[in-house]
Amino acid sequence: MNTPLALPAVTMSAVEQAAAVHSARLQTALLAARARRVAVTAVRAGWWAHFSADMALTGSGLPGLPMIWPTRVHLPLQVALFAVDAESAMTAARRDITSHLASLLDRDDPMITLTINAAAIDTTQPDETDRHHYLVDATATIAVPATCTSERDAINLAAEQAAARLAGHSHLTLRRPPHAALPAEWCPFDLDAPVLDPDADGPDLTTLQHLLADPHHDRSQAVTPAALDAGLTRLRRSLRRHIIDAIDDGIGIRKGDDPHTMTDQILTAMGLDPLPRSWQYEISTTITHIVAADTPGQAVTASNRLLMSSRVTSPPRSLPITLPDTCDPRPKAKPAGAGWYEVTRQLSFLACLRGGDHPALAEAAVRQHLSTADPGFGDLPLRVIALGRRIERIVDRDTD
């Protein structure tokens, strides 16, 4: 009896493993860079809401998009001036500080609060004939909006910008470094979004450099190709889930948009798989039912409520159908006796079949749904229009 041949286990050499690690890091870095650039481009084009694209990036462990943070900077200032007495010096200091800060920050009213702490005669400087040389200490709180991707960066940037503007100023001096913070009542959902630029706001170099860092860098655990490949797979899946979640709720939210086509293009531009395709059919029917009402308007309202309560307008997820037009805009209502009206309206379903071109199966799915709402609806004549193989309209973040 012949013994089956078995190939001995093949292990990577040190050179092969280093190459595999670098390849995995490079793929991850390229995906992160492309995802960010595509997100910025889609937001700028109006396809993707800023908050939704930011959630997709941060939810996948990538840096978020820039936001305009309402940072406030507290400035411990000192101003030198001539005045007759301390009270005059503090009045003049208030006027000068307000004017100089508005000029430095290129804003008409950057001041939030200004407190004059003290005014003292500077004995190291000569006085004028009728005025003394005063040093006035004050604390100003100014608004310095910072465009950054995180709260910490915004606070640091605002403080740095304020200090840089005041450096070398001839009248205002910082007594100590400024301190920045966000207002107590701030909310992340209230942040304004800047106009993004694919080049300036595109791939974050710091993150890319980290992803491409030396694999022999001191770490608690050794870096292996398998671990990096698993991380790359997780990043792909996370981006895809967040993008699919954004359909109609971040992507394509303007009237007339086609969110599924937009999502498909965003995915492929990032280098991810496109949305699934399916054979689609527009299936419509005309239903007639009797409702209690005193006027045609009341009859239409009663018809709407009846259809919603019977879930005719909400197909279950178990069936491959959706309802692009949930309500006929021009239903007809005519009297059907005292206190009753007969309402006639059209319903139009979209059936999506991934397995193949089977119009009879699509029609059967619609009939099953109609009969669960009303047994009489299941036998209504249906009008079926084959739309061809198109981008799937019924997608699930976990399975797709």
The three-point CA angle 218-219-225 to 5° equals 110
Whole-angstrom distance, CA of residue 133 vs CA of residue 122: 6
Tens of pLDDT, residues 92-135: 989 988 888 888 777 666 788 888 888 888 877 787 777 888 88
Whole-angstrom distance, CA of residue 269 vs CA of residue 244: 14
* Residue 220 amino acid letter: S
Whole-angstrom distance, CA of residue 90 vs CA of residue 33: 54
What is the CATH code of the structural domain delimited by 68-181? 3.30.70
Tens of pLDDT, residues 21-42: 888 888 888 899 899 999 999 9
Tens of pLDDT, residues 189-211: 778 888 888 777 776 655 565 55
The size of the chain, in residues, is 400
pTM for the structure as a whole? 0.76
Beta bridge partners of 206: none
Q: How many CB atoms lie within 10 A of CB 1?
A: 3
What is the CATH code of the structural domain delimited by 277-391? 3.30.2030
Question: Could you give the angle at which helices 50-59 and 225-245 cross, rounded to 10 degrees?
Answer: 160
Q: How many CB atoms lie within 10 A of CB 148?
A: 19
Per-residue pLDDT of the chain (400 residues; tens, 9 = 90+): 566 777 777 777 888 888 888 888 888 888 998 999 999 999 999 899 998 999 999 999 888 888 888 899 999 998 888 888 888 989 998 998 888 888 877 766 678 888 888 888 887 778 777 788 888 999 999 888 888 888 889 999 999 988 888 887 778 888 889 999 988 888 777 788 888 887 777 766 555 655 555 444 445 456 788 888 888 899 999 999 999 999 988 898 877 788 999 999 999 999 999 999 999 999 988 888 888 888 888 888 888 887 777 666 666 777 788 765 555 677 888 888 888 999 888 888 889 998 889 999 999 888 888 887 778 888 889 999 999 999 998 888 888 7
Q: Which helix (H) or strand (E) holds 37?
A: helix 14-44
